[in-house]
Structure 1
Amino acid sequence: MDNKDKIFEQVKGKLIVSCQALPEEPLHSPYIMGRMAYAAKLGGACGIRANSVEDIKEIKKTVDLPIIGIIKRDYEGSDVFITPTMEEIDLLYREGVDIIALDATKRVRPDGMTIEEVFPKIREKYKDQLFMADCSTYEEGMTAYKLGFDCVGTTLSGYTEYTKGTSLPDTDLIENLVRELPIPVIAEGGIWTPEQLKTVFELGIHTAVVGTAITRPMEITKRFVHVIQ
């Protein structure tokens, strides 16, 4: 079994937990994300999705699970912010993450290129690296597969201008991608309850990523407060 198969086997049918905190959030700290990832591991997570080289370095100190690495960075003039340019890809590759995830939507990237133009260059440069396509529509998922991504995630459904208002988790998108794609489909985005997680697994996904519902106490608190206001 090669490395690619081994990693996908490790996460198959299990839960990946996203441990992220942006600079404006109270838990923003590599140390805290390291502890968060360790707690997720103890709870039974089979993998971690993490943002920034600093957080990933810290997480690796206590957690030996497969890591999906991203770097969120805002560039003026582009809505693409998940691993948006080759610079972020280079940093993640050098740090050594099992899977690099990047925005694979049809939106124009900070360098003025589309995913169709830029991904062949990325794939050529890093032939041995696993790449996850963060998509928002069925068409984007199919394009990502044709471009040579190793797995496709529903991460950005509801978060692009043209998918705003989509009910999450996007079960229609998940179902369609699972039916059409021969590569692993990863459900991500808007999974708030164990029941929803069970539902998406029943649709035939390879694995799922849950973040906010587990690792962002400020957002979790808001949901509780909202129902009593």
Structure 2
Amino acid sequence: MEDPIPHSAFPASLRGTLIVSCQAAPGDPLDHTDTLRRLAISALRGGAAGLRANGAEQIAAFRAETDRPILGILKKYVDGEVAITPDFASARAVAEAGADVVALDCTARRLTAEEPWPGLVRRIHDELQKPVLADIATLAEAEAAVQAGADAVATTLYGFTPETRGARAVNWELVEAMVAQTGVPVVVEGHISRPEEVRRALDLGAWAVVVGSAITRPETITARFCQAIHEGSGHSRF
């Protein structure tokens, strides 16, 4: 096996903290840069140590409001599926907009892409001088990303790849294994809905935790409350 590629510095200020993802899907009422900027400010006032943002326009808007670290991505549709920062042009746009870290899909399915992620990791380091956060779904993908030079790994895509599709809860065994075996900061992202889960992730050794929908998507939050009402509608209140 080749020697691991040297790593850049993932922001030390994020250790032991909450990062809030301020994003909105196309067509969502919140899919508006100034609206998301206001959500980001609220999250920062609440204590978020950093932000995760999608797209150059939103990253730049957030950058104008804070010097706390921003994890930047750019989502594109590739072959009918959403891909996270799938090419160098996307990575460059994210970096130039003010992101401190470039995050990208480093799963096995992207190895056959037009611009495979191992090459993107190298170019981001060499040409943009930014650390890379590898969004993965399995331990093998995390280890491969570290071997290729990723500076941190995140569980972002667990539940969204062919091998893990349908999973809708944090895989705590995966978190523990990544902390024990990768040797780089581990970020827990995806399926976090309660504060005690953030605490559990940090207690297991995660560097930081990203929470999105449970904080910044009123539609999702409202739906959870309504679901509880419907599930209990057959029971008497007295």
TM-score (norm. length: structure 2): 0.88
Among 82, 92, 96, the alignment partner of 1:94 is 96
- Deviation track 1:79-101 (CA, whole Å, cap 9, x = no partner) reads 45111111201211222310000
| Residue 19 (structure 2) pairs with residue 27 (structure 1) | no
Q: How many residues align?
A: 223
> Residue 20 and residue 44 in structure 1: after superposition, are their counterparts in 2 closer, same or farther (change >3 A)?
same
Q: Alignment RMSD, CA only?
A: 1.8
Aligned twin of 1:165: 166
Aligned twin of 2:235: none
Structure 2 spans left out of the alignment, 5+ residues: 1-7, 231-238
Among 35, 43, 47, the alignment partner of 1:44 is 47
Distance 1:108 1:55 in 2: 25
CA positional deviation for 1:120: 3.4
Aligned twin of 1:140: 141
| Residue 83 (structure 2) pairs with residue 81 (structure 1) | yes
Distance 2:108 2:121 in 1: 12
Q: Where in structure 2 are the equivalents of 1:96-111 lying within 5 Å?
A: 96-108=98-110, 111=113
CA contact (8 A) 2:87 2:115 kept: no
> Residue 58 and residue 113 in structure 1: after superposition, are their counterparts in 2 closer, same or farther (change >3 A)?
closer
CA contact (8 A) 1:84 1:110 kept: no
Among 53, 58, 62, the alignment partner of 1:55 is 58
Name the stretch that deviates more: 61-70 or 214-223. Answer: 61-70
Name the stretch that deviates more: 106-115 or 202-211. Answer: 106-115
Distance 2:53 2:82 in 1: 17
Aligned twin of 1:130: 131
CA positional deviation for 1:111: 4.4
Q: Secondary structure at the match of 2:93?
A: helix
Q: Where in structure 2 are the equivalents of 1:180-199 lying within 5 Å?
A: 180-199=181-200
Aligned twin of 2:234: none
- Deviation track 1:96-129 (CA, whole Å, cap 9, x = no partner) reads 3100000000113684353345433444433x21
- Deviation track 1:28-62 (CA, whole Å, cap 9, x = no partner) reads 11101111111011100000000111111111222
> Residue 93 and residue 83 in structure 1: after superposition, are their counterparts in 2 closer, same or farther (change >3 A)?
same
Q: Secondary structure at the match of 1:62?
A: coil
What's the % identity of the aligned pairs?
36
Runs of 4+ residues deviating >4 angstroms: none
Q: Residue 70 of structure 1 aligns to which amino acid in structure 2?
A: I
Q: Secondary structure at the match of 1:81?
A: strand
- Deviation track 1:123-157 (CA, whole Å, cap 9, x = no partner) reads 4433x211100000000000000000110000000
Q: Secondary structure at the match of 1:227?
A: helix
Distance 1:100 1:9 in 2: 15
> Residue 50 and residue 118 in structure 1: after superposition, are their counterparts in 2 closer, same or farther (change >3 A)?
closer
Q: Secondary structure at the match of 1:108?
A: helix
CA positional deviation for 1:167: 4.6
Distance 2:97 2:112 in 1: 23
Aligned twin of 1:215: 216
Structure 1 spans left out of the alignment, 5+ residues: none
